[in-house]
Amino acid sequence: MNVTLRDLPQIQSLIQAKTLAALVERYSHAEVTDALRTQIQGLRDALLAGEQPDLPDFTSGAFAATIEATIVARRTPPSSGVVNATGILIHTNLGRARLAPEALHAAAEAGEGAQALEFDLETGKRGARGAAAEQLVCQLTGAEAALVVNNCAAAVLLALTALARGRSVIASRGELIEIGGSYRLPDVIAQSGAQLREVGATNRTRLSDYVQAVDAETAVLLKSHASNFRIVGFTGAPTRSELATLARERDLVLMEDLGSGILIDLAAQGLGDEPVVADILRSGVDLVMFSGDKLLGGPQAGIIAGRADLVARLRAHPMFRALRSDKMTLAALAATLRLYLPPHDPLRDVPVLAMLATPVAELRTRAEAIVAQVEGPVELEITDSAAQVGAGAMPERDLQSVAIALRREGQSADALAAALRGAQTPVIGRIHAGRVLLDMRSTAPSDTPAIVSALRALCP
């Protein structure tokens, strides 16, 4: 017997069946209706495509079980946890910084009950949101004051809107950056209501270029750290101290969009490329803006540090309310910042920095332990690798690392990579020279069981 569209039941009549009515009581009318609509639409699509699907007994318990399974699946959030084995430590697409246990605990505690978020326990009156994190920023950087918003782009937008709206901002052509996600500094300046005035050339800007551009409409000298690219060769730019002197002489604000902010000197790890926030402020920069979820190693946040009078103006600006952070972010940020204070060692206790500092020998030992637990047709080889910090930090600096290289005869690297992404806990590697590399530097020891499980699934 041929099945036609007329044989498909009406949803409103179908839902009156005893088995489906029970589901309405257990869940909701809307959920059952939506699940039924999905099932009926699937059958309708098959018929329109010229197929002859077998129609179920729509009043049976088996069909009701199918509908219930659809509802349960929709109510169950998909797991988004993955293993970052790309070799990019701060991977924007994979959530950037891995949080320390202390930060996770603080966020959970903040969400569990009432918090003194904007309440001063001493006076019993309203307090400042984010005071704990902001005080720690000042302690660690030497800033007079600090302010936390929801990301670094928001920090730049707030600072420019509050201090330069209706006036001009002078910036070097070589620092008009674009980063991932279509963030372009000139666009942010335009959105702030300020007028951009470019000076210098792409590769070389002199102090005299800034001097000649300053006029009565100038409000801000804006410096941006070119964190995700390098211009090499015949280059030049004035120092921060030189720009600070000019800003003081002309009563201007010197601010810097640092992007990825780091609080400690990593020169001992051979990573002295990134300027330290405290050093920037000591050079005379009035305000510096940086991220919380990059080299700092905390949750997504934008941090503004510098002169107290300027920070006060930003805090009082109406836009601040739209950009402020929530209680769990502020708690996680404060907990991360405390890991920079004795007796903690940030190179041990802040996961991002610990990954940077892990000796190559330890990475090799971890790779060997994984390979020893996997047998099968997939060829596994331990090889030297070059990892990267990521998130726009140190773009030309490779980090010596160790990777597990995968190859399987008759299967492409793309297919292997896809299979790893389909594991119970997806493992994300990178493809190089026809092999899939699982780089150990961007993983943690706790990732080992998931990596082993994913590799074993490739070798049935």
CATH number of the domain to which 399 belongs: 3.90.1150.180
Q: Region 410-436: what's the mean pLDDT?
A: 93
Of 288, 319, 345, the domain-final residue: 345
227: confidence class by pLDDT, cuts 50, 70, 90: low
CA distance 269 to 128: 37
Which of 184-188, 363-367, 439-443 is predicted least confidently? 184-188
Say what the pLDDT of residue 181 is. 59
Within-domain flag for 350: no
Within-domain flag for 321: yes
367: confidence class by pLDDT, cuts 50, 70, 90: very high
DSSP 113: S
Residue 204 near residue 221, CB atoms below 8 Å? no
Whether 230 shows a pLDDT value over 70: the answer reads no
Q: How far is CA 262 from CA 274, 304, 325, 366, 401, in A?
A: 7, 13, 20, 28, 22
182: confidence class by pLDDT, cuts 50, 70, 90: low
Whether 391 shows a pLDDT value over 70: the answer reads no
Q: Region 286-301: what's the mean pLDDT?
A: 95
CA distance 191 to 222: 15
Say what the pLDDT of residue 374 is. 92
Q: How far is CA 12 from CA 16, 17, 233, 384, in A?
A: 7, 10, 73, 63
CA distance 150 to 455: 38
Helix ranges (H only) for 358-447 are 360-371, 413-421
Looking at the structure, tell me whether residues 273 and 173 fall in a common domain: yes
The Cβ-side half-sphere exposure at 95, using a 13 Å CA radius, reads 13
Looking at the structure, tell me whether residues 249 and 359 fall in a common domain: no
Cα 101 to its chain centre, rounded Å, is 17
Looking at the structure, tell me whether residues 151 and 251 fall in a common domain: yes
Say what the pLDDT of residue 266 is. 87
Q: Which residue has the tokens 């892990």?
A: 358
The CATH number that applies at residue 186 is 3.40.640.10
Say what the pLDDT of residue 214 is. 95
**Residue 11 φ then ψ, to 5°:** -65, -40
Of 345, 374, 406, the domain-final residue: 345
Looking at the structure, tell me whether residues 336 and 451 fall in a common domain: no
Looking at the structure, tell me whether residues 177 and 230 fall in a common domain: yes
Nearest to 229 by CA among 40, 116, 394: 394
54: confidence class by pLDDT, cuts 50, 70, 90: confident
**If 0-12 CB within 10 Å is exposed, 13-18 middle and 19+ buried, where does residue 247 land?**
buried
What is the four-CA torsion angle of 333, 336, 342, 344, rounded to 10 degrees? 170
Domain enclosing residue 37, as ranges: 5-75
Looking at the structure, tell me whether residues 309 and 328 fall in a common domain: yes
Whether 255 shows a pLDDT value over 80: the answer reads yes
Looking at the structure, tell me whether residues 207 and 339 fall in a common domain: yes
CA distance 154 to 291: 10
404: confidence class by pLDDT, cuts 50, 70, 90: very high
Q: Region 115-138: what's the mean pLDDT?
A: 89
Say what the pLDDT of residue 390 is. 81
Looking at the structure, tell me whether residues 105 and 68 fall in a common domain: no
Looking at the structure, tell me whether residues 177 and 304 fall in a common domain: yes
Within-domain flag for 242: yes
Q: How many domains does the chain have?
A: 3
DSSP 78: P
Which of 83-97, 178-192, 234-248, 323-337 is predicted least confidently? 178-192
Looking at the structure, tell me whether residues 299 and 407 fall in a common domain: no
Within-domain flag for 9: yes
Helix ranges (H only) for 49-151 are 61-75, 101-112, 131-141
CA distance 399 to 386: 5
Looking at the structure, tell me whether residues 159 and 296 fall in a common domain: yes
Say what the pLDDT of residue 393 is. 62
Say what the pLDDT of residue 119 is. 84
Within-domain flag for 18: yes
Within-domain flag for 396: yes
Within-domain flag for 95: no
**Residue 255 φ then ψ, to 5°:** -125, 155
Instruction: Kindly report the pTM of this predicted structure.
Output: 0.85
Q: N- to C-terminal Cα distance for the chain? A: 43
Within-domain flag for 96: no
Pair of tokens at residue 90:
């701060």
Of 345, 367, 389, the domain-final residue: 345
Looking at the structure, tell me whether residues 171 and 57 fall in a common domain: no
Per-residue pLDDT tens digits for 127-163: 888 899 999 999 999 999 999 999 999 999 999 999 9
